[in-house]
């Protein structure tokens, strides 16, 4: 058996609520050959308790960590083309720090 996993530590860029799901965009730093860049990853959370926690305690700019499984899927669009997707499904989520206000 093989499992594809991910770990992301970064700041929340956006929070999008759907029916039974919350999607978070997480901005993280990426270093390669001396260059600093930013990566944006969108993760999905389906766990009801985690959704409630995020709605109550997490906001844009907060530093968070997310871990989970990578799922690859495909579907056929209305033109008959196969579309491939990669979904980051959160298993563990933690808020590390609240966004600092400009006064801090």
**Structural domain includes residue 38:** yes
| Total structural domains within the chain | 1
**Structural domain includes residue 102:** no
Kindly tell me if the per-residue pLDDT of 104 is higher than 60. Answer: no
pTM exceeds cut of 0.85: no
Give the structural domain span for 32: 5-97
What's the rounded mean pLDDT across residues 77-93? 95
Taking the C-alpha atoms of residue 52 and residue 58, their distance in angstroms, rounded to an integer, is 10
Assigned token pair, 95:
């808020």
CATH number of the domain enclosing 42? 2.40.50.140
**Structural domain includes residue 40:** yes
Assigned token pair, 70:
């990578």
pLDDT at 66: 97
**Structural domain includes residue 62:** yes
């Amino acid at each position: 058996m093989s499992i594809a996993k991910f770990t992301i530590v970064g700041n929340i860029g956006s929070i999008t609520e759907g029916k039974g799901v919350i999607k978070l965009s997480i901005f993280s730093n990426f270093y390669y050959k001396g260059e600093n860049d930013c990566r944006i990853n969108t993760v999905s959370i389906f766990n009801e308790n985690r959704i409630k926690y995020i709605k109550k305690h997490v906001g844009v700019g907060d530093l968070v960590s997310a871990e989970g499984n990578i799922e690859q899927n495909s579907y056929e669009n209305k033109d008959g083309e196969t579309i491939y997707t990669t979904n980051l499904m959160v298993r563990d989520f933690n808020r590390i720090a609240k966004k600092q206000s400009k006064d801090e």
